[in-house]
Structure 1
Amino acid sequence: MTMESPAFADATSAREPVLSMRGISKWFGAVQALTEVDFEVFAGEVVAIVGDNGAGKSTLIKILAGVHPQDAGTIWFDGEQVSIPSPAASRELGIATVFQDLALCDNLDVVANLFLGREISHGTLDEEEMESRAWSLLRQLSARIPSVRVAVATLSGGQRQTVAIARSLVGEPSVVILDEPTAALGVAQTAEVLNLIERLREQGLGVILISHNMADVQAVADRVTVLRLGRNNGDFRIPDVSYEDIISAITGATDNVVSRRADRLDRAERLDDADRLDGGAL
């Protein structure tokens, strides 16, 4: 079941998504992790993917990151059907993924982390140009980093997340995926990361946010896609949906034994009322 407001459908029908997934399915042996999942993100939009543990969020993201190939379905990027056989292919396509572990080297400074594996060299490493570009990337995000020459190990959790997000921008992507970016962060550091997400949207990037924190989702997302048991279970514009609606879609609270029994009783009462009215008319 996919729920989408008419207003959102009208607003987006006139433009093409930068990234679109249609009918995505994935098996791991006998276990089906995803079943015909649809998903899309537009330029300048933050879309949150939410769901309980085992809902398929990580699998969907790993397909986009080139970690796992889908077993069925198609992926479209900038209006063209594409395949993503590897992480390198994902980056070349214009998709940058910041995983929850950040994959930073604590013993290296900010510059070295930003350009690790993509160093700028002209015979020898051009440290000056890399440092200049590092500051430029951090300014794009309005980041608060004391120096690009300090070891990453000395930075706070929010600053480390900033470095990881800045590194994702080195390849000038069109879509940035953030996997639980505020997990284990304090209030101030969380606010700092949410501001970074706002900066990414202002730059016209499509942002995919995976989060268990509904407050964060409602603070920065334009739209939320709900996965449940590997299937779509709702697509909502944030202004049109309540916290309770999102939680109900995540947990399946609107589709359980109690609700089904209530529906049966309600239908039975309506039938009884209809029979009485028919009897009275005769």
Structure 2
Amino acid sequence: MRDPTTPAPIVEMRGIEKAFGAVQALRNVDLVLYPGEILGLVGDNSAGKSTLMKILTGAYQRDAGEVFVAGQPVHFKSPHESRDAGIEMIYQDFALCGNMDVGQNIFLGRWPRKGLFVNRRKMYAEADSVLKRLKVDVNSVYQKVESLSGGRQQSVAIARAISFQPRVVILDEPTANLSVMATERLLETMLELKKQGVAQIIISHRLVDIFAVGDRVMVLKRGENVGDRYVRNTGEHEVLEIIVSGTREHALTADEARP
């Protein structure tokens, strides 16, 4: 039973099903996410993690099941609709324009206007404000993105997502190609977002990162829920065991698995 002091979920997915032809990618999957929570979503490469997140963001359409955001039923037809509801996804390739500068990338496609012209002063001031809010350093908002390191490009991608004032941010393998130092900076940024009440889902094969910043870890296997644990009540070894040998029949929720 959920602790009555716990806030209502910001996202809840119930009984999600998705097939691609004869391949059943998701089978009756449930997910819950609370405000300000960092949830690690793990599993092998065919587990269905990205498919589930693309359904949440409207990139894919579910075959069955329900999705609720802040208690309201939703059925997003596109990522634009999920963005309007406060959900942002940052993909592994960052989706940045390398030949544009930091400020232009943060406000790409929605540059502030002054009459018929781009209000560059406002754009760069707001870009700088977002970066300061995240406590990240990219040297200059006028710097071309292609000249930045992978870690700083990741920071720009996060800043762009945060500029939409989301309630939920999804990060797809955010530390996969980062140096140790860049990874540490990213994890610090995630904790800063948490302080500001932004809920986050991190898809990652790096359990060490999830255990560094996460509150809870959810395991998918062959498109099914096979385990859910509070980070404080488990360890990497148990989660690896669930990834390798977990079954839906023996799956426990985080509350059921409490010691």
TM-score normalised by the chain length of structure 1:
0.85
Equivalent residue, structure 2, for 1:169: 162
Aligned to 2:158, the other structure's residue is in SS state helix
Aligned to 1:227, the other structure's residue is in SS state strand
Inter-partner Cα distance in structure 2 for 1:252 and 1:210: 20
Aligned to 1:11, the other structure's residue is in SS state coil
Q: CA deviation at 1:40?
A: 1.1
1:77 to 65, 69, 72: 69
Q: Can you list the C-alpha shifts for 1:79-107, whole angstroms capped at 9, x where unaligned?
A: 11011110111111110010001000111
Q: How does 1:36-55 map to 2 (within 5 A)?
A: 36-55=28-47
| Structure 1 stretches of 4+ moved >4 Å | none
Equivalent residue, structure 2, for 1:206: 199
Larger radius of gyration: 1
What amino acid does structure 1 have at the position aligned with 2:76?
Answer: I
Identity of aligned residues (%): 44
- 1:220 matched to 2:213? The reply is yes
Equivalent residue, structure 2, for 1:245: 238
Q: CA deviation at 1:253?
A: 6.1
Q: How does 1:247-262 map to 2 (within 5 A)?
A: 247-252=240-245
Inter-partner Cα distance in structure 1 for 2:121 and 2:4: 43
Inter-partner Cα distance in structure 2 for 1:13 and 1:22: 22
Q: CA deviation at 1:140?
A: 1.1
Inter-partner Cα distance in structure 2 for 1:177 and 1:12: 26
1:127 to 120, 127, 151: 120
- 1:91 matched to 2:90? The reply is no
Q: 1:87 to 1:10 in 2, by over 3 A?
A: closer
Q: 1:254 to 1:169 in 2, by over 3 A?
A: closer
Q: CA deviation at 1:15?
A: 2.4
- 1:147 matched to 2:140? The reply is yes
Inter-partner Cα distance in structure 1 for 2:138 and 2:6: 40
Q: CA deviation at 1:12?
A: 6.4
Q: 1:194 to 1:122 in 2, by over 3 A?
A: same
- Number of residue pairs the alignment of both structures matches: 247
Greater helix proportion? 1
Q: Does the 8 A contact of 1:248 with 1:254 survive in 2?
A: no
Inter-partner Cα distance in structure 2 for 1:163 and 1:42: 25
2:59 to 40, 50, 67: 67
Equivalent residue, structure 2, for 1:270: none
Aligned Cα RMSD in Å?
A: 1.3
Aligned to 2:108, the other structure's residue is in SS state coil
Inter-partner Cα distance in structure 2 for 1:52 and 1:70: 21
TM-score normalised by the chain length of structure 2:
0.93
Q: Does the 8 A contact of 1:109 with 1:149 survive in 2?
A: yes
